Amino acid sequence: MTNDSIVPAATILMLRDGAPGLEVFMVVRHHQIDFASGALVFPGGKIDATDIDAAPYCDGIESATPYQVAMQIGAIREAFEECGVLLARAKGQEALISGDRLKTLVDYRESIH
């Protein structure tokens, strides 16, 4: 494999403490795709050239390189595209957005998917 064939991609590992113990969020790949169809995977995919464009809206990334920021944004975007999970918060807020707020953003998911 040469560097020319390496495609920047990111995945996101989402874990939480559940009643039975540690819970891991995974998705099943569509059965009609060529690579790993039907496999159980973490959400993720290729980094888009526009992923870095969201950097001005991010908090706590001051020490990250533009490449690292694009990877983080890409992983979050892919989770939203693939399974509707959006890890985001309103400006100046600590808590992630609510399910009600996420419902208002569903059209954006369709436009980027």
pLDDT of residue 1: 59
Q: What is the tens place of the pLDDT at every residue in 1-12?
A: 567 788 999 999
* Domain extent for 41: 3-112
Q: What's the structural domain count of the chain?
A: 1
pLDDT of residue 65: 93
* CATH code of the domain containing 100: 3.90.79.10
pLDDT of residue 77: 93
Q: What is the tens place of the pLDDT at every residue in 43-60?
A: 999 999 899 988 888 888
* φ, ψ of residue 8 in degrees (nearest 5): -60, 130
Q: In which region does residue 67 sit, left (phi positive, over 0), alpha (psi from -120 to 50) or beta (all else)?
A: alpha
Radius of gyration of the chain (CA): 15
pLDDT of residue 113: 58
